[in-house]
Structure 1
Amino acid sequence: MFGAVASLFDVHLSSLSPLLCVCVIILLVCFILSRSPAGRGDNAPPGPWGWPVIGNLPQLGKKPHVTLTQLRKKYGDVYKITLGSRQTVVLNGLYTIKQALVKQAEEFAGRPDFYSFKFIGNGKSMGFGDYGPRWKMHRRLAQNALAGCINKKTNPIEESIVSEAEVLVSNLLASNGAPVNPHNEIYLSVGNIICALCFGKRYKRDDPDFLQLIRMNDEFMAFAGAGNPVDIMPWVRFFTFRSFNTFVGILNTMTAFCVKKQKEHLDTYDPAVARDVTDLLIRAVQETPDEEKEAVGLTDEHILTTVQELIGAGFDTIASTLQWSVLFMMAYPDHQDKVYEEISSNVALTGTLDLEDMNNLPFTEACLLEIMRHSCIFPFALPHSTTKDTSLKNYHIPDKTLIFVNMWSVSHDEDLFPDPDRFDPYRFLDDTGRRIDKAKTEFFLPFGVGRRRCPGEQLAKMELFLFFATMMLKCKFESPLGVAPVIDSKYGLTLKPVDFTVVVTKRQPKDIK
């Protein structure tokens, strides 16, 4: 969002007409008056001054998560910025965020009334929908459907992940030692798990339906990552309607794709056999009494739209984290070797991993935790909104205030993680070095916290471990020509690593330097 908005104002003052200059002066005067103590309120959070119309947007730079974390040092854990015309409160630090999202959960569980949110899932989205009775029922039904598909006794999703991880390894090794960008293969494999979860089948790499799904997700993430200026400056819609219409077109195509899959499922639906999430959502539609749904305003479309949300939520986050894992292991070969040694000592090279193996692989788990902490791919989560007038840290926060939850400030907090920019898996191990220090895992929030905590957390942990451990067991990742890799991110809806290439070779027994 920040980058897209900044580009709208890349103009020189010399090009402004005299009339426009007068308008700017008037706006500036109004802005100064609005920033007077009386206008701000006695108990309003502190914060930096911003420009008229655009607020603090130009100050955020290319890495807003870093900028807002630096502002924490000056203004504290609760401060206010202005995004376009939206007064926004930024929450920083583990204890402040938990206070708001856990202890005052009802008051901070809302979603802002962003213009773009009205078009996601035809306005029936759970993740982007506001908090209330309808949301609570929708969330419960979605969680039940997801739980029914990750239960090993009823649905073999773990087997699908293990099998797909083997495919990923095979395709990476097919590069035969030539430098390769792992992005595509990782995304195809993660996409196949989403398909197995939602539609009950994995696809071949050249399947038209599968490729369409991948393409739509990439296009959606590209637009979402650039941001929708209309959400914070509604008047911008008159200047960006072509771009926004393209965004809506992508959403409509995704909806049509999922509706097609739903119809295919309805034609072969058997209430006694749940093949996937789509079947379980159909069951929820049929088994939930109409009077219960009508009482909270929940429709069948709300329930079935959950499939689209799972695709969006479970795709890019997992794939981006796995890309980071390859980059960090390439950058720190000693850690990579130690992970391999630990896994190979517990699992035969010709064997496959099981989720239960995680209990015997503390350093492997510690590496994965440190990758998630360091990369912090979702630095702000999705924006929250207050559901009523409230207060936090003695600051008054009005109803429907836009809330940014700065997760980066938690994962890079010097008090919780000394020298936070250093990649150090040992920080998650106890003093013996043989067990995960459970207390340390509570110090960062990769899946969020509170009412909006990620409902797919269990599935995500399963995918990340099985993909990561399988790659580390079967592959050796090295930097091309011995050049130290660049560890940097591209800002968007999620933080992705800057494009990189890696040399992938097959691991051999005792393959340790």
Structure 2
Amino acid sequence: MFQFVLLGFVSIYFLYLIIRYITKPRTNAPGPKGWPLLGNALEFDIENLPVQMAKWVNRYGDVFKINLFGDDIVVISGELCYEALVKRGDDFAGRPIRNRGDWVTEMGEDIAFADTSPEQQKRRKIAHSGLKQYGTGMAHLEEVNAKEIKDFLKIVADKKCSPFDPRADIYKCVIKIITLLLFGEAMTKEDDIKTIAELDETIERAVGTGQGFELDHFPWLRFFGNSTYEIIKHFNTVRTRLLDRWLLGSKDTMEKGKIRGMVDWLLVSQENEPTISDTNVRMMIQNILLAGITTTESTIESGILVLMNYPDIQKKIQMSIDAELGTERFPTLDDRSNLPYVDAFILETMRYTSVVPFTLRKSTKDSKLGNYFIPKDTQVWVNLFCLHHDERYFADPWTFKPERFLDQNGDVIPVDQRKMLMPFGAGRRVCVGEQLARARLFLFFTAMLQKFTFLPHEGDKCPSCDPRGYTTGLLLRPNNYRVRAILRI
């Protein structure tokens, strides 16, 4: 009996797909042909998606479509990325409905996954105000960043030049910095740190480009023991238990008129804005916590890998740091203006590695990109990976060259001259934590290279830093590697 019910259900669903395919407005952009109903699903190389998209860009141009189970997805590259995100940001400010994304954000009650709406914009404004007021504007935040980074440097020094995988130590340090931003003090409980790492790993498995992709198109599979949906349920249970405990603790210890961090700011904002629910607060914390940790950790890990492959660049950075700071004074954010080569190295690391290879949008009205029609509610993938490796905007794009971001005087070129670099997205939905992330990266790389030279394991071939070989998920991440950190002092 069950088999007949399932067969009937599936037949009805496929009939629905056929009717929708016939009646839904379509883009006239070119693209790979695909199969009936399935579209290009069987052609998707999930593990090497940025590389596959680059091949299709070469074949079809800066605008092409792919089709997944009847849904058109328009992929844009080149200057059209800037046009869609910045010049016509309102036209492409939506977020596509992805069931997995909704399920891990309490049905889009956050900032990052939520579709554009007055409520989403209100939540974004509150979060941005809090990050601005209680992030870069707080001197003690820089001091505690310094404390956590110094602790990390001590851990590295204790390796005594032995080869090690830096991922776990970087990850723990970044967790402490992000939780400082959220709560006014760094998270030090090992159980909580392990829980955050578990949540990060779980959301990568559940919402990334690989396992579970079928749920975005066949949500009813969750009723039949789908393994990814079980992972999502586990994520939600662990996440809610942890964040509710944190929120309850913050409410109990808040002092009137004193804001310790972002969570206090969100709770005060909630009192002044009744439409902000506990769920909204919980989801905004999730956005800041998980997005801030993974992007920073992946960029630092990728940067170390680049330094191993480009020893001349590493030496040049160290010489500039030595001339400005010496060997003892810990860097501050005020040093950024006097260390343009460090900033250029960070910009080039973000371009070259492109740890966020795509940003996903949705058209909010019938529109055009290039010469092609884009119907309202069409999913649009902004191909940042190809943009950042496009020789039209970045000469010799597969060579790592920080100098591309310096002018003839050795200063970092202004923002309008590097508008095609979009590691944090751009326009209406640019990452709210961009400035804080840039500050963290500057302090990390400056402090690390002041103290250490990073080399591959003796006798080993230096692992490649070419991002075309990275692991594809929510982010592009380098494969595990070992490094030797040689103390310079």
TM-score normalised to the size of structure 1? 0.86
* Kept after mapping to 1: 8 A contact 2:136/2:436: no
1:329: how far off?
0.5
Q: 1:459 and 1:228, CA in 2 relative to 1: closer, same or farther beyond 3 A? A: same
1:236: how far off?
4.5
1:209: how far off?
2.0
| RMSD after superposition | 2.3
2:54 aligned with 1:69, yes or no?
yes
The correspondence for 2:130, drawn from 113, 132, 145, is: 145
* Kept after mapping to 2: 8 A contact 1:255/1:308: no
The one-letter amino acid paired with 1:437 is: I
Question: 2:411 maps to what in 1?
Answer: 435
Question: 1:56 maps to what in 2?
Answer: 40
How far apart are the structure 1 equivalents of 2:162 and 2:181?
33
Q: Secondary structure at the match of 1:121?
A: coil
Q: CA offsets per residue over residues 424-444 of structure 1, 9 Å max, x none?
A: 112111124x21122543221
The correspondence for 1:215, drawn from 198, 214, 224, is: 198
How far apart are the structure 2 equivalents of 1:40 and 1:256?
43
* Kept after mapping to 2: 8 A contact 1:78/1:393: yes
2:380 aligned with 1:400, yes or no?
no
Q: CA offsets per residue over residues 371-414 of structure 1, 9 Å max, x none?
A: 11110000012x21122222222322122111111101210011
Q: Secondary structure at the match of 1:131?
A: coil
Note the residue ranges of structure 1 that are not aligned, 5 or more in a row: 1-19, 509-513
2:218 aligned with 1:241, yes or no?
no
- Which is further off, 367-376 or 62-71? 62-71
1:188: how far off?
0.4
How far apart are the structure 2 equivalents of 1:209 and 1:67?
38
Q: CA offsets per residue over residues 238-290 of structure 1, 9 Å max, x none?
A: 566232122221123112211111100111112311001100000101122x4
Q: Secondary structure at the match of 1:414?
A: coil
2:367 aligned with 1:390, yes or no?
yes
Question: 1:106 maps to what in 2?
Answer: 90
Q: Secondary structure at the match of 2:288?
A: helix
Q: Secondary structure at the match of 2:358?
A: coil
Question: 2:446 maps to what in 1?
Answer: 469
- Which is further off, 131-140 or 209-218? 209-218
Note the residue ranges of structure 2 that are not aligned, 5 or more in a row: 1-6
The one-letter amino acid paired with 2:370 is: K
The one-letter amino acid paired with 1:505 is: I
1:306: how far off?
0.9
Q: 1:326 and 1:366, CA in 2 relative to 1: closer, same or farther beyond 3 A? A: same
Question: 1:17 maps to what in 2?
Answer: none
Question: 2:485 maps to what in 1?
Answer: 504
2:169 aligned with 1:185, yes or no?
yes
How far apart are the structure 2 equivalents of 1:365 and 1:172?
23
* Kept after mapping to 1: 8 A contact 2:103/2:232: no
Question: 2:186 maps to what in 1?
Answer: 202
1:195: how far off?
1.0
Q: Secondary structure at the match of 1:423?
A: coil
Q: Secondary structure at the match of 2:432?
A: coil
The one-letter amino acid paired with 1:48 is: P
How far apart are the structure 1 equivalents of 2:59 and 2:170?
40
The one-letter amino acid paired with 2:400 is: F
2:65 aligned with 1:80, yes or no?
yes
2:344 aligned with 1:380, yes or no?
no
1:187: how far off?
0.4
Q: 1:49 and 1:319, CA in 2 relative to 1: closer, same or farther beyond 3 A? A: same
The one-letter amino acid paired with 1:306 is: M
How far apart are the structure 2 equivalents of 1:104 and 1:446?
19
Q: Secondary structure at the match of 2:458?
A: helix
How far apart are the structure 2 equivalents of 1:209 and 1:373?
33
Identity, % of aligned pairs? 30
- Which is further off, 251-260 or 188-197? 251-260
Aligned length: 466
Q: 1:240 and 1:428, CA in 2 relative to 1: closer, same or farther beyond 3 A? A: farther
Q: Secondary structure at the match of 1:127?
A: coil
The one-letter amino acid paired with 1:486 is: S
Q: CA offsets per residue over residues 104-151 of structure 1, 9 Å max, x none?
A: 222211111221122223221221111111111111111111112114
2:57 aligned with 1:44, yes or no?
no
How far apart are the structure 2 equivalents of 1:103 and 1:429?
26
Q: 1:155 and 1:256, CA in 2 relative to 1: closer, same or farther beyond 3 A? A: farther
Question: 2:4 maps to what in 1?
Answer: none
TM-score normalised to the size of structure 2? 0.90
The one-letter amino acid paired with 1:90 is: V
How far apart are the structure 2 equivalents of 1:240 and 1:103?
45
How far apart are the structure 1 equivalents of 2:372 and 2:319?
52
The one-letter amino acid paired with 1:122 is: E
2:400 aligned with 1:423, yes or no?
yes
Question: 1:134 maps to what in 2?
Answer: 119
The correspondence for 2:320, drawn from 330, 342, 345, is: 342
Question: 1:316 maps to what in 2?
Answer: 294
The one-letter amino acid paired with 1:462 is: A
How far apart are the structure 1 equivalents of 2:225 and 2:453?
46
Q: CA offsets per residue over residues 188-239 of structure 1, 9 Å max, x none?
A: 00111111111221234x6222222222222222333335321134455456
Q: 1:233 and 1:81, CA in 2 relative to 1: closer, same or farther beyond 3 A? A: farther
1:363: how far off?
1.4
Q: Secondary structure at the match of 1:305?
A: helix
* Kept after mapping to 1: 8 A contact 2:96/2:379: yes
The one-letter amino acid paired with 2:349 is: I
Note the 1:265-414 alignment, pairs <5 A: 265-288=250-273, 290=274, 293=275, 298-381=276-359, 383-414=360-391
- Which is further off, 231-240 or 494-503? 231-240
How far apart are the structure 2 equivalents of 1:99 and 1:443?
10
Q: Secondary structure at the match of 2:34?
A: coil
* Kept after mapping to 1: 8 A contact 2:212/2:228: no
* Kept after mapping to 1: 8 A contact 2:211/2:228: no
How far apart are the structure 1 equivalents of 2:71 and 2:141?
43
Question: 2:472 maps to what in 1?
Answer: 491
Q: 1:134 and 1:427, CA in 2 relative to 1: closer, same or farther beyond 3 A? A: same
Q: Secondary structure at the match of 2:74?
A: strand
How far apart are the structure 2 equivalents of 1:497 and 1:150?
29
